[in-house]
Structure 1
Amino acid sequence: MVELERFRVAVRTWVAAGVEAPAAAEVARELVARVATVVLVEGVSDRSAVEALAEMRGRDLGDEGVCVVPMGGAMGVARYLRVLGPQGLGARVRGLYDEAEEGFFRRGLEQAGFGAGLSRSAMESLGFFVCVADLEDELIRALGPEGVERVLAAERDLDKFRLFQNQPAQRGRPVERQLRRFMGTTSGRKAHYGRALVLALDPAGVPHPLDGLLPSPRCSPR
């Protein structure tokens, strides 16, 4: 687990600083052979959800060598893919992205040598899955508004949500949109509920992009 964290930090530093981070690049090159799969996600809330899914399924991503890397947004995905992909470290890479960011991921994959003229289904076959419109929407649909409200109640946030619903800007909006907006109103709330909502799912009702994202548990570090 310590090595996966070192690898994650090294890759993020290398991507951010480029040739000005030779030490980080060297660490990443040293550790990549011990990483079975890198899972690229846009932010920390997505990472929380992916790691919660592994927990729900009794999987230890550290033992499996699966490193979930939040990129801090989709615009940098091309740089990550150049560092990690066939033209760089040659790591096995998968990813999760929002529908609005599909163009960034498609161009990044094509530029990094994963293929040309990639369709959404071709990207999925490479292990890159789209959330419509984003992961919060996928989870809200999977649980239903009442299911999400039960999670809010368990987390002692339901009264706060009721007050939020009463705000003039929220009145009359569909409850699904209110829930999605509520989760983004306080720092750290999206990451907290990324985990809590996943753990509340029926194991048979995991949204498709999240369900398909993790590699087979048979994968192990090279």
Structure 2
Amino acid sequence: MDTGSADDMAPLRDAVIACAADDAGEARRLVLTLAADVGLRAVVLVEGESDRAAVEALARRRGRDLAAESVCIVPIGGATSIRRFLDVVGPDRLDVRLGGLVDRAELRFFRHALQDVGLGLDGFFVCDADLEDELIRALDVAGVESVIGAQGELGKLRTFERQPSQRHRSQADRLHRFLGTHSGRKAQYARALVDALPLVRVPRPLDDLLTYVGRRLEE
């Protein structure tokens, strides 16, 4: 069976997202065709692009090529969309392993949707409060500021910190808010923060997800 490459997974990921938005017969047939073409073995559902970027960055650091392992990482655009995506890739649709990351505050959406398709939370790992918080704690404030400096945005951070609305917040909270201040920045820093982490300090949910996917594919 052929395994996927990085180029193979983008059309499949896009097709899954499109099918979740408009469950037409043609869209579902395209997902099934592309899944067969790449020999799909697992789907990782994450809330957003920054989560996908972090998983992919850690996989690279661990010497893993998830696309070559026929694993597709799909950002679902927020936890409330999980039901629509399970209707595309769940056990009644594709015979693949499922896993993912979920923010603690959104756990109820995942739990209920997974129960409705006969699954539990096995393979879904909870970030407290979200992945950005996990990464900031793992690197600590000084480490995150160092990464921001390496990205050439330390001046922007200092300007952001001086805003009246930020003065009462902790520095960790300000960093969290800074990472999400414009489109694309969360994914940019998800990659950069993971790349900067000592591997012994990788947040447990992220590490556990990657371990789970590897273990499941060996079974």
Q: Report the TM-score, using the length of structure 2 for normalisation.
A: 0.91
**8 A contact 2:28–2:88 mirrored in 1:** no
The Cα RMSD (Å) is 1.7
Aligned position for 1:118: none
Residue 128 (structure 1) aligned with residue 124 (structure 2): yes
Give the alignment partner of residue 76 of structure 1, picking from 70, 75, 81.
Answer: 81
Aligned position for 2:15: 10
Residue 210 (structure 1) aligned with residue 215 (structure 2): no
Structure 2 SS opposite 1:49 = helix
Report the CA distance shift for 1:196/1:217 in structure 2 as closer, same or farther (over 3 A).
Answer: farther
Report Cα offsets for 1:112-171 as digits up to 9, x if no partner. 1114xxxxxxx2xx1000111000000000000000011011111111111111111111
Aligned position for 2:109: 104
User: Identical aligned pairs, as a percentage?
Assistant: 52
Q: Distance in 2 between matches of 1:10 and 1:200?
A: 32
Aligned position for 1:119: none
Q: Distance in 2 between matches of 1:103 and 1:217?
A: 26
Contiguous gaps of at least 5 residues in structure 2 = none
Give the alignment partner of residue 139 of structure 2, picking from 138, 143, 159.
Answer: 143
Q: Distance in 2 between matches of 1:114 and 1:82?
A: 13
Report Cα offsets for 1:29-68 as digits up to 9, x if no partner. 2233411210000111111111111111121111111110
Q: Distance in 2 between matches of 1:170 and 1:108?
A: 36
Give the alignment partner of residue 31 of structure 1, picking from 31, 34, 49.
Answer: 34
Aligned AA (1:25): R
Return the offset for 1:4.
2.0
Number of paired residues?
210
**8 A contact 2:97–2:216 mirrored in 1:** no
Structure 1 SS opposite 2:64 = coil
Aligned position for 1:176: 172
Structure 1 SS opposite 2:72 = strand
Contiguous gaps of at least 5 residues in structure 1 = 116-122
